Structure 1
Amino acid sequence: MIEGGCNCGAIRYRAEGAPVVVAQCHCTNCRKQSGSAFSVNLLFKAAAVTHEGDLTVYEDTDTLSGNPVLRKFCGRCGSPIFSETTDGRGMLVVKAGTLDDPAPFAPAVSIWTATALPWVTLPEGQMTFEQNA
């Protein structure tokens, strides 16, 4: 079981099983949401993730893929917790920085590298996709 939560403790979550993939996302919107050069995301089937606490949702409609993304965060401390696409695939992104123990989850792929910042060095041998995988 994988557990995590927000900075203030108002949101806690659990994910059953291993993530489908762990990816570094270099899209502009993930950079803005993470406040960093990229976001490290664990992709799960939405049914595998449960949470406690009230999430605030921002519907991000100006995305590179053209699909709206529901960005879910703690309304109290602002920690980004989940992102969910509205494309009907039933997948949920868990933000790696909110994991209680993120160390085991090194990214396997980098996506949206066409918009990666020029000073970011991608890990050698890692699969990369100029757009979404």
Structure 2
Amino acid sequence: MKLLTGGCLCGEIRYEISADPGPSRVCWCRDCQRIASNGTVNVLFPSNAIRITGTPSGHDKKADSGNLVTRRFCATCGSHLFSDSTGRPGLTVVRIGTLDDPSAIKPSTNIWVASAPHWACVDQSLERFDGPPAAAAPAKT
């Protein structure tokens, strides 16, 4: 296991992750498109393996899946960092682009592809779900 680090654009929020990554996905749901103007690239980690310095703001919304999702972001620069879902207790989504080394994790799956715009660059070599993904197993800490 390699220690992963990351943070927001302005540096007010930093984090360290001390666990192996779980599933990594490109999400094309409409909520992710709204926060990123594109699909978002995400990876799951056990929530208790993430140490955050700084205090992210949060926004709660019911997702297309029916789960309540809390998206956490920097109130100063607006960088979207994490999200937690009632459908994945104990797991936190980390936006791969906020890692100090975003190449450290490669997505393996496209999800909610049926919601992607016609111009989306969907990697055909990755596993694909037109809607939500199969259930994720927790990563080991």
Q: Considering the TM-score relative to the shorter chain, is it more than 0.5?
A: yes
Aligned-pair CA distance for 1:88? 5.2
Deviation of 1:114 after TM superposition, in Å, equals 1.1
Partner of 2:89: 89
Shift of 1:76: 0.8
Q: Which amino acid aligns with 1:21?
A: P
31, 34, 37: which one aligns with 2:33:
31
User: In 2, Cα distance between the equivalents of 1:124 and 1:27?
Assistant: 17
**Aligned residue in 1 for 2:136:** none
Q: For the residues of structure 2 that align with 1:124 and 1:57, how far apart are their CA atoms?
A: 33
Aligned positions of 1:8-87 closer than 5 A: 8-34=10-36, 36-61=37-62, 63-87=63-87
Distance 2:18 2:126 in 1: 26
Q: Is contact 2:19-2:46 (8 Å) kept?
A: no
Amino acid at match of 1:90: G
RMSD over aligned CA atoms reads 1.1
TM-score (norm 2): 0.88
- Where does the alignment leave 5 or more consecutive residues of structure 1 unmatched? none
- What count of residue pairs does the alignment treat as equivalent? 131
TM-score, normalised by the number of residues in structure 1: 0.93
Report the alpha carbon displacement of residue 105 of structure 1 after superposing the two structures with TM: 1.6
* Structure 2 stretches lacking a partner, 5+ long: 134-141
Identity of aligned residues (%): 37
Q: Which runs of 4+ in 1 moved over 3 A?
A: none
Deviation at 1:89, TM superposition (A): 2.4
